[in-house]
């Protein structure tokens, strides 16, 4: 699933390609996870004034309203001057004066949703429950220590849930916990403050590095110019079950938490 780095890479690509463009036409393909919530022709003539991100949502601020774009499980966005005839997995095209934005999503769990303004209940329903941004000033050890108080779930599952912090997906949580020396099965409320200091720093470093490398392309994700992300090639534990730990040579272990694979070192993470 595209996580924060992949969505941020997409946001930067869309901003570079289409900021200031005027929408000329909209093509709708097969239905996505949620309906557009507006007649497509209502978007024609609107100008893309900014491209922002909240969690795993990309927000296209228009001259009248906002488009919330979610990549779902397998989606990616391409920006080009011409994109050719739509394929079976191409479900949304936004034709503008600066090129075309095309959403491709083989599993169709993605979505493009319109709202008349950011305070609209539709926006609050999608974004209102999200935790803080991991790259923002509000995310620090003091906040994390307070947010984890009383949470009996594992630290990895709490971080993945998105209610404390958003966008730190499976690969990035595994990598961050390894760098911080924290066992993924440890109860969230039992992680001491000094360890949380290391964890916050690790999360920031992992996500920032992933953005630089274009995200992770484990399955379907591609950037707006069609390139693959490379962070997965620098992973220290993710996908390395049975291989020696880069620090102590102990074989990396894999367990399943919440139907997702977790990779860790039994010696370096306690």
Active-site residue flag, 3: yes
**What is the predicted pLDDT for the residue at 153?**
95
- Domains located in the chain, CATH noted: 4-127 (3.20.190.10), 141-264 (1.10.8.50)
* pTM score, whole prediction: 0.94
Distance from C-alpha of 137 to C-alpha of 21, rounded to nearest angstrom? 31
Name the active-site residue from 27, 198, 253, 260: 260
Crossing angle of helices 170-180/193-212, nearest 10°?
130
* Sheet of 99-104, strand order: 23-28, 90-96, 99-104, 76-80
Name the active-site residue from 11, 53, 56, 102: 56
The string of pLDDT tens digits covering residues 59-94 is 999 999 999 999 998 899 999 998 889 999 999 999
**What is the predicted pLDDT for the residue at 220?**
67
Distance from C-alpha of 222 to C-alpha of 77, rounded to nearest angstrom? 7
Beta strands in the chain (DSSP E): 23-28, 48-54, 57-62, 65-70, 76-80, 90-96, 99-104, 111-115, 253-257, 260-264
Name the active-site residue from 3, 8, 15, 175: 3
The string of pLDDT tens digits covering residues 1-21 is 789 999 999 999 999 999 999
Distance from C-alpha of 42 to C-alpha of 191, rounded to nearest angstrom? 50
The string of pLDDT tens digits covering residues 12-63 is 999 999 999 999 999 999 999 999 999 999 999 999 999 999 999 999 999 9
Name the active-site residue from 2, 5, 134, 184: 2
Q: Give me the count of residues in the chain.
A: 270
Active-site residue flag, 260: yes
234: left (phi over 0), alpha (psi -120 to 50) or beta: alpha
Grouping H, G, I as helix, E, B as strand and the rest as coil, residue 26 is strand
Q: Are strands 90-96 and 76-80 parallel, antiparallel or unpaired?
A: unpaired
- Judge whether 51 and 18 are in contact, CB under 8 Å: yes
Alpha carbons within 13 A on the beta-carbon side of 39: 2
Which of 218, 241, 242, 248 minimizes the C-alpha distance to 231?
Answer: 218
Instruction: Write the DSSP symbol of residue 227.
Output: P
Over residues 196-213, the mean pLDDT reads 97
Q: Give yes or no for residue 156 having a pLDDT over 80.
A: yes
Over residues 203-223, the mean pLDDT reads 90
259: left (phi over 0), alpha (psi -120 to 50) or beta: left
Distance from C-alpha of 199 to C-alpha of 193, rounded to nearest angstrom? 10
What's phi and psi for 258, nearest 5 deg?
A: 55, 40
Active-site residue flag, 121: no
Active-site residue flag, 30: no
């Amino acid at each position: 699933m595209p996580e924060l780095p992949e969505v941020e890479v997409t946001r930067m690509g869309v901003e570079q390609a289409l900021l200031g463009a005027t929408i000329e036409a909209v093509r709708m393909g097969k239905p996505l996870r949620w309906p557009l919530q507006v007649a497509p022709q209502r978007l024609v003539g609107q100008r893309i004034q900014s491209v922002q991100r909240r969690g795993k949502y990309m927000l296209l601020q228009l001259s009248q309203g906002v488009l919330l774009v979610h990549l779902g499980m397998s989606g990616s966005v391409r920006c080009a001057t011409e994109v050719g005839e739509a394929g079976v997995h191409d479900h949304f095209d936004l034709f503008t004066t600066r090129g075309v934005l095309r959403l491709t999503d083989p599993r169709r769990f993605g979505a493009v949703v319109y709202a008349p303004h950011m305070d609209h209940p539709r926006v609050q329903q999608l974004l209102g429950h999200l935790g803080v941004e991991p790259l923002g000033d509000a995310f620090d050890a003091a906040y994390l220590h307070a947010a984890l108080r009383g949470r009996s779930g594992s630290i990895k599952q709490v971080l993945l849930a998105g209610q404390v912090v958003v966008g730190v997906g499976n690969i990035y949580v595994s990598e961050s916990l390894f760098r911080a020396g924290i066992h993924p099965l440890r109860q969230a409320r039992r992680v001491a403050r000094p360890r949380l200091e290391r964890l916050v720093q690790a999360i920031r470093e992992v996500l920032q590095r992933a953005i630089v490398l274009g995200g992770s392309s484990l399955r379907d994700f591609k950037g707006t110019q069609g390139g693959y992300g490379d962070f997965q090639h620098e992973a220290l534990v993710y996908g390395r079950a049975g291989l020696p730990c880069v620090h102590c040579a102990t074989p990396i272990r894999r367990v399943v938490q919440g139907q997702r694979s977790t990779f860790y070192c039994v010696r370096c993470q306690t």
